[in-house]
Amino acid sequence: MSDTYDTPPATPDLFEGMTAISAVLDPTIASFNDRKINMIFVDKDRMAKKSRELAFLRHKSEELGFTIQPVPSEDLDNLTSGKTHGGIVAICSDRTLPDLTNGIKDIPAKGFFVLLDGIEDPYNFGYTVRSLYAAGVDGIILPPRNWMGVAGLVARSSAGTSEKTPMFVSDPAEAAALFKAHGYRVACAGIRNSVDLYEADLSLPLLLVIGGEKRGISSKVASLADLTVRIGYSDKGNFRGSLSSAASAAVLGFEIMRQNK
């Protein structure tokens, strides 16, 4: 490692902290995630305290071919969006999100997939992925959109789980139709003509559709649903709003997990 470093690209996929970086280095993701680490910057003033992490990264750098460079603390802070990076950040390559029709080789007979229809905030997206990953999702389908420009932010808010989750791109209605053709039931999160979550049959195989807070689920996708499930709220406080997509994903995901244990 040298004391000089190259200026990173203007719009890199910047992954902050060891949790996100370790997710990119996880060998189990190689079958669906082609992202690579190009360079790692380490706060030169924290290197003594980061000896354990640096030993791991040096080993990986020899195996995978990326470089590790020390930088001043202020330069690292200027590169990042905050000061929660823990003194280590990585410049990464893009990740290819394959088209669902061509990218998914085998749809499992008893799978749990989620279609996110209309989520726009990258933080909310990351929190949603984190909840679904913890609930055992087999894959996430996204409408066409370039999430790559905020991949590092999503990885940080998802605690690295966005890198560990198979993801595909598809028109939402086409995705719902494809899963139905493979024997999946489609369950939409919603209110109109809905069944209470804890009374609904959420047995696998299942495609769960969760909409964003602003636009919700499109009518075309909703028309393909086999059932609509709602999350009941307490009578206290007379709550008339809705949960965030991330909170809804956690409640729904863990009930699906419970029913299928």
Tokens encoding 188: 């939409």
The pLDDT score that the predictor gives to residue 146 is: 63
Please give the average per-residue pLDDT across 125-143, as a whole number.
96
**pLDDT, tens only, 166-202:** 999 999 999 999 999 999 999 999 888 899 999 999 9
Q: Boundaries of CATH 3.40.1280.10 in the chain? A: 100-259
How many angstroms separate the CA atoms of 175 and 208, rounded?
A: 11
| Strand spans (E) along 61-214 | 67-71, 88-92, 112-117, 139-142, 167-169, 185-189, 195-196, 206-211
pLDDT of 162 higher than 90: yes
The pLDDT score that the predictor gives to residue 167 is: 96
User: What's the pLDDT band for 105 if we cut at 50, 70, 90?
Assistant: confident
Q: Report the interhelical angle of 51-64 vs 18-25 (nearest 10°).
A: 30
The pLDDT score that the predictor gives to residue 3 is: 47
The pLDDT score that the predictor gives to residue 8 is: 45
Please give the average per-residue pLDDT across 252-257, as a whole number.
98
Task: Determine the CATH number of domain 100-259.
Answer: 3.40.1280.10
Q: Boundaries of CATH 3.30.1330 in the chain? A: 13-92
The pLDDT score that the predictor gives to residue 214 is: 66
How many angstroms separate the CA atoms of 57 and 35, rounded?
A: 16
Please give the average per-residue pLDDT across 195-215, as a whole number.
91
The pLDDT score that the predictor gives to residue 7 is: 47
How many angstroms separate the CA atoms of 205 and 107, rounded?
A: 10
The pLDDT score that the predictor gives to residue 149 is: 67
pLDDT of 82 higher than 70: no
Query: Across the beta sheet with 195-196, what order do the strands follow?
Result: 167-169, 139-142, 112-117, 206-211, 185-189, 227-230, 195-196
User: What's the pLDDT band for 2 if we cut at 50, 70, 90?
Assistant: very low
Reduced to 3 states, what is the DSSP secondary structure of residue 18? helix
Please give the average per-residue pLDDT across 16-35, as a whole number.
95
Reduced to 3 states, what is the DSSP secondary structure of residue 128? helix
Structurally, at CATH architecture level, domain 13-92 sits in 2-Layer Sandwich (3.30)
User: What's the pLDDT band for 83 if we cut at 50, 70, 90?
Assistant: low
Residue 246 makes CB contacts below 8 A (sequence gap 6+) with 124, 127, 128, 130, 131
User: What's the pLDDT band for 6 if we cut at 50, 70, 90?
Assistant: low
How many angstroms separate the CA atoms of 88 and 78, rounded?
A: 13
User: What's the pLDDT band for 67 if we cut at 50, 70, 90?
Assistant: very high
pLDDT of 62 higher than 90: yes
The pLDDT score that the predictor gives to residue 1 is: 43
